[in-house]
Every structure is written in C-alpha cells, then in structure tokens.
Chain A
Amino acid sequence: MSLAAELAGVSFGYRPGQRVLENVDLRLGEGEFVAVAGPNGGGKTTLVRVLLGLERPAEGRAFLFGEPAHRFSRPRTLGYLAQRSVVGGDAPVTVREVVSAGRLAVGGLLGPMRRRDRELVSDAIGRVGLAEHADVPLRTLSGGMQQRAFIAKALAAEPSLLVLDEPTTGVDAESQESLAGLLDTLHSELGVTIIYVSHEFGAVEGFVQRVVLVRRTIVFDGPPGDLPGVWHDPSHVHARD
C-alpha cells in the first residue's frame, strides 16, 4: 500500500528545549480512515501540523505522498479543517460562499468562478446534506451544520487527503454521530484518506480502521477493538496526563 503520510522519528517543540512531540513514527496508507486521539495538550494538533508541512520538525522527517511535507508539490490535493474553524470577520457568510473558498487553490485565484467549479461546489454542498441551506448565512445554522459546511469546503477541492482537527468541538452528540456517518460514507464512496483528530473518538470508533493515540509520542496504534479499555474513557486519559 502506498503511503499518504509518514512521520519518521519526528520530534518537535514550539521553543528550544520544549518537546511537544518526541520520536514519533507514523505511517498512514492511502485510503485509510484513521482517528488520531489523545488528551488535550498531548500533541495531536501539532502532529497534524507537522504532517501537513505547516511546522518543520526539530528532528526527523515528515512526508506527504512520498515527498517532504514542507515542500509538497501538490498542496491543492490536501483538505484541512483546522481546529475551531470559524469565519474570520463579522460579515455574514453563506454556506455556498464558505464552500466556494474550497475551490480557490484548485480553480484559480483570479476573476469569477468557472462553471465546473460552481458545479463541484453545489455537489459538495449536496453531499453533506446542506442543499436546502446553501444560500443561508452560516451563523444562523447549528454548530453541526456549520461543521458540515466546512467539510463540504474541504471536499470541494476533491482532496486525496482530508484532515479534520477536532471537527466535533461544540457539536451535540447526535450531530457527532451523523457527522461520523457522513465521513464514513465519504470514505467509502470517494476513497479519500481521512485523518480524524479528536480528544474523543467514540463517534467514529465504529467506522475507523485504526486509532492512533498521541501523548507526546504514540502510545497506541491499532484497530479500535484492540484498544485497552481504560483508553476509551477520555477523563481517564486526562487524569493520567
């Protein structure tokens, strides 16, 4: 199986002497649906930021589809939903405007959108079940629906690798389940590699093939069924931290 992402002996800190990640080895195959879990402050977000080339490791190397992550030649094939994705300014933004931003790197930066781009935007909106809300201001929708809009934005770019950092923060339990089901459908229908980062992975446990637990280094890597019982309880994870 060819690799979508690889970390080899990666250590990283935001300042000298600090170790947010220590000697991390991770290989993610193309087409996998993986949950990256662990306590808050355990290094999950840092791990994906290094993996996406947004941070350079102090030691070790990060690769995307076999290329060094920080100078990956096909960045437009990456979809990234950052932690607590919110629209920057105060202006109302419609779902369609959010999703259209996903075509920016792919469809060209200048001038109006082309027809094919508009079609892909509409497809992505339909795929996440927001067709009826396409032209509604995002802030009038629930947290779960807003996250769906951002997932549609990532999908509009037709990514090979989709990284979702804490996509269920502030989302009620029912919406978390439905979001997880949506990701499972996208994974099986589109074959896209998905990295789902969360301090809780209960919602996706039934769908992912693999769970990676991060606490500065990787403390577990395997199918969710093999996970020791204590790790299923996030409060326990915090207590041990």
Chain B
Amino acid sequence: MLETEFMRLALGAGAVVGVLAPAVGFFLVQRRQSLIGDGIGHVAFAGVAAGILLDVAPVLAALVAAVLGGIAIEVLRSRGGAAGDQALALVFYTGIALGVVLISAAGALNADLFQYLFGSILTVTRGDLALIAALGAVGMATVGLLYRALAGLAIDEEGARVAGVPIGALNVAVAVLAAVTVALSMRVVGILLVAALMVLPVSAAGRIAWSMRSTLALSMLIGLGSAVAGLTISYYADLPPGGAIVLVAAGAFAACGIVGALRGR
C-alpha cells in the first residue's frame, strides 16, 4: 500500500485531519454543539458551489464560506435571540439551498460534485498535503493555546461570564477553528461526513476516559486510528475512503461504549 504515492499522501492528509477534527470537535461536544460541524459543512457546500460558479478554487471559497457561516451561527446564537438549534437550522438550510441554486446556475450538478460531498482523499497532491499540514499545525497550536480557556467555558460558562472571561471572542475562535477544520477535512471525508470525524472520536473517548484532558488525548488517538485504519481498509477492500474512515470511528464508539459499560461507568 505504501509503495504508491497517492496512498502515502492520502495517509498524510488523513492523519492530520484525523487528529485535528476531534481536537476541535472536543470543544463543540463538551458544549453540546455537536452538530455545528454539520451546519458549517453545509455552508462550505455553498462555498464550493460559489467557487465553481465564479471560477475560484472551490476549497478556498469553501474555507471563506465556512468561516463566515461559523461566525454567523455564533452571532445568531448569542445575539440574535434565536435558540442554538434554530440558529444552526437557519444557517444549515440556507447553506444547502444556496449551494444547490449556485451549483445549478454553474451547470455543475454532476459527478465532480461528489468529490466535495464524499471526499477525494486519493487525489490529494503534494501541494494539497503541504497546505493541509500547515493549516493543521496552526489549528493544533491554537487548540493548545486556548485549551484551558475553552475547557473552563465547558465546565461553567455562567461563572466565567460573571468573572469577565471574554466568552464571545472565545466562541468566535471555536467557530473559526471548526470552519477551518471543515474546509481541511472536505478532501478527506467530504462535506457530508466531516462532522462525524469531529464528534464520533470524542464521544468514544468520553466513554473510557477519566478526565477532560484524557478525553481530548484519547479522541485524537481514536481519530488518527480511524483515519489510518479506514484508509487501509478502503485500499484493500476497494471501498470509498471517507465512508470507511467514519465507519471505523463509529466502530470505535461502539467498542468504547462496551468497554465503558463493562467497567461499570
């Protein structure tokens, strides 16, 4: 498997996303915002469509749309008076509707679209991998820098608000981090499955971990393992890589759930 360059590049990209997606997803899950990744993914779809229509690199357009969508969800949630799930639904449906209209206008409602919806990790180039690795490193450094603040918010947001912690700025930082992760993960698992990689490893880790820190570490390990195992399975069994990666993560969740239950947690 490793003798082929496309698999080496795919494993590299998968490893970066496998670690970053759960690291960012950790903070979403802790604050019961697991579906935000999905909402941002749908806005990213509108970005891809706009990119195709305007002849701009679709991934770049998706990144911009995802960041704007992430901020929009956060602003609507915190200031617009809309409940969290309604803010998400609004952005979610507007994103997908806009995407369909723009794709149709571009006359691109065809098989090419599938690589954005379901991932195309086997077509990752060296240049793509360099970009994914660089943005992934920035994302991980940001997670490391903000870990304590974001964990504190997850533990007691109201107490932090009273103590003057800049909650709005931290929420926007998480939204931007999630948006960058979605845009990066698009090539690996696709828009439709990106949120799964942000949530499933974290949920799995939570079943067997003993602290927040260990949950974060284990979720990154499970994400990395899911990406590598999923790609390997897809290579030998000729399965779609994105789907295989997410199914391995779902299997990890089931396994951790059983282990947790057996330990009487």
Contacts and interface: CB of A to CB of B under 8 A. Distances in A.
Interface of A: 52-54, 75-76, 78-82, 85, 87-94, 97-98, 100-102, 104-106, 109-113, 135, 137, 150, 153-154, 157, 163
A224 to B, nearest CB: 27
B49 to A, nearest CB: 34
A154 to B, nearest CB: 7
Given A91-B209, A105-B164, 11 more contacts: A81-B159, A82-B156, A85-B158, A89-B30, A92-B209, A92-B215, A93-B211, A101-B155, A105-B165, A106-B163, A109-B149
A163 B206 CA distance: 31
B236 interface: no
Contacts, number: 119
A101 B146 CA distance: 13
Given A91-B209, A91-B212, A97-B211, A82 B146 contact: no
Given A75-B164, A112-B148, A94 B159 contact: no
A35 B160 CA distance: 23
A93 B152 CA distance: 11
B162 interface: yes
Interface residues of B, number: 36
B57 to A, nearest CB: 33
Nearest to A74: B164
A101 B165 CA distance: 11
Q: Sorted from nearest, which 4 A-B pairs have the closest CB atoms?
A: A75-B164, A89-B30, A105-B163, A101-B152
A89 B159 contact: no
A53 B212 CA distance: 30
A92 B212 contact: yes
A141 B105 CA distance: 59
A76 B162 CA distance: 8
A78 B156 contact: no
Contacts of B205: 91
B178 to A, nearest CB: 15
Nearest to A90: B206
Nearest to B146: A110
A186 B169 CA distance: 34
Contact of A109 (B30, B31, B148, B156): B148
B156 A101 contact: yes
B162 to A, nearest CB: 4
Contact of B159 (A85, A90, A93): A85
Given A89-B31, A90-B203, A93-B212, A113 B160 contact: no
Given A88-B31, A110-B149, A97 B159 contact: no
Contacts of A105: 160, 163-165
A76 B154 contact: no
Contacts of A106: 163
B97 interface: no
Contacts of B155: 87-88, 93, 97-98, 101, 153
Contact of A85 (B156, B166, B202, B209): B156
Contacts of B161: 54
21 contacts: A54-B161, A80-B159, A82-B159, A85-B159, A87-B155, A87-B156, A89-B29, A91-B212, A91-B215, A92-B215, A93-B212, A94-B211, A97-B155, A97-B212, A101-B152, A104-B160, A104-B165, A109-B149, A109-B165, A137-B210, A153-B156
A172 to B, nearest CB: 23
A150 B155 CA distance: 10
B247 interface: no
Nearest to A139: B265
Given A87-B155, A89-B32, A98-B155, A104 B162 contact: no
Contacts of A137: 210-211
Q: In the complex, which of the residues A75, A89, A91, A135 has the most CB atoms of chain B within 10 Å of its own CB atom?
A: A91
A89 B32 CA distance: 6
Contact of B149 (A89, A98, A104, A157): A104
Interface in B182-212: 202-203, 205-206, 209-212
Contact of A75 (B151, B154, B163, B215): B163
